[in-house]
Amino acid sequence: MKKISIRRIFSLILIVFVIGGVLYINSPRYIIKRTVMWYERDFTIPVFCKKVRFEYDRKTGNYTGKFKISEHQSEKIIEKLDYCKERGLKVKGIRKGYNGLLNEDIIDLTPTETADTIFRGGTILFTARCEEFKTEEGQKRGAEICKAHGIDGLVVIGGDGSFQGAKKLAALGINTIAVPGTIDLDIACTEYTIGFDTAVNTAMEAIDKIRDTSTSHERCSIVEVMGRGAGYIALWCGMATGAEDILIPESFDGNLPKVEQQIIEHLLRNRAKGKTHHMVINAEGVGHSYSMAKRIESATGIETRATILGHMQRGGSPTAKDRVYASMMGAYAVDLLCAGKTNRVVGYQNGRFMDMDIDEGLAMTKDIDEYQLQIAHLLGK
């Protein structure tokens, strides 16, 4: 048998590495990944098992690597970087949602415009309802405007209504990704929606303050939180503040006198036990907080006040969770667009960010977690 020399084995290993390295540089996944990061302009890329940093010279537009590479390798890399450059992402912002789209209220967004915004509440792009976009004509016009403005990928942030519009635009040929943004947490395909955490924490702080007065005056307090059709804010705030009663639309059968009677009996039982305050968290979807307070007061003789927190829950500096999760969801949406995906919704399930078809997401239904509700009631007893 012919003997293979050590030298030959080494050169064979080297060839495998070289081929592997070139294939890695050429892989489409790699290109997409780099394209997404294009904005940063400087790159670190693995070349033949070594990490090479390439720096972008803003004056000359050239790239310089701090590692000696062959001409062929450098050509390959420049080729890839040029490819990235061609696909360089430009970002535009559409102000006032679909309404702004139809009015062509479209602005360029650069890192300068978006700098210093992460800690701000509200939205720099504003928001508005749009009846026209619910019509087929409006949707077609929206898609044409996107094309005319060179928009080939759209990220729509909102709730179910916004997702319906996103689905229509996707069907009309605009690559569209939906991202769940609502304080109500009422989007079935995700366990997290942008804004919920901030709203709950804002309401919780306000309720803690109201509780101080309530305790000092030995009153019963009814605090109404947002959530016309969903009781997540009420449930979370109720648990987080140790409320005695939590009213949510999901378990409200419309029988207000029955609900009031239950609160009255609970309040009187607690007074008999020596508890000097009673906090009721009421969701907007159940409502009637002021009249409820009057009736409870006249039935018990215990001073009862109602506070409606209202729009304060939709403002204020976002919590760390909202800042981080929103950033992750935004990046995920861009990744999907760069991979050529459309009609997808980004979600958060079982501890991971994920995506699914918008139609599939819209068809899902969501129920309040029965166990959480039970525990909340148990803790308030």
- At position 104, the amino acid (one-letter code) is E
- The interface mask with ligand F6P, positions 198-227, x = CB under 6 A, is ----------------------------xx
Q: Output the smallest distance, CB 368 to ligand F6P, in A.
A: 15
Nearer to ligand F6P, 182 or 221 (CB): 182
Shortest separation between residue 181's beta carbon and ligand F6P, angstroms: 10
Q: Of 126, 187, 214, nearest to 360 (Cα)?
A: 187
Task: Provide the greatest CA pair distance for the chain.
Answer: 105
Burial class (CB in 10 A: 0-12, 13-18, 19+), 251: middle
Residue 182 makes contact with ligand F6P by CB under 6 A? yes
Which entry of 184, 197, 245, 355 is annotated as an active-site residue? 184
Interatomic CA distance for residues 37 and 338, integer angstroms: 11
Residue whose CB is nearest to ligand F6P in the complex, by number: 228
In the chain, how many H helices and how many E strands? 14, 13
The answer to whether 96 contacts ligand F6P (rule: CB under 6 A) is: no
Residue 73 · residue 122 · CB < 8 Å = no
Q: Does 228 bind ligand F6P (CB under 6 A)?
A: yes
Task: Please report how close the Cβ of residue 232 comes to ligand F6P at its closest, in angstroms.
Answer: 10
In the block, tokens 């080297």 appear at: 14
For ligand F6P, the closer CB: 184 or 244:
184
Is residue 233 a contact partner of residue 221, using CB atoms and an 8 Å limit? no
Tell me which stretch binds ligand F6P (CB under 6 A): 179-187, 212-220, 244-252, 292-300: 179-187
Contact range with ligand F6P by CB under 6 A, out of 22-30, 36-44, 171-179, 182-190: 182-190
Phi, psi at 209, each rounded to 5°: -70, -40
Q: How far apart are CA 76 and CA 190, in angstroms?
A: 42
Question: In the structure encoding, which two tokens stand for residue 341, read together?
Answer: 């995906």
Per-residue contact string for residues 311-330; x = within reach of ligand F6P by CB under 6 A: ---x----------------
- Residue 305 near ligand F6P by CB under 6 A: no
CB nearer to ligand F6P: give 29 or 311.
311
- In the numeric block, which tokens belong to residue 259? 């609900």
CB within 8 Å of 63: residues ≥ 6 apart: 43, 54, 55, 56, 57, 77, 78, 81
Tell me if residue 212 is catalytic: no
Number of residues that bind ligand F6P (CB under 6 A): 8
| 284 near ligand F6P, judged by CB under 6 A | yes
Supply the residues annotated as catalytic. 184
Contacts with ligand F6P, residue ranges (CB under 6 A): 182-184, 226-228, 284, 314
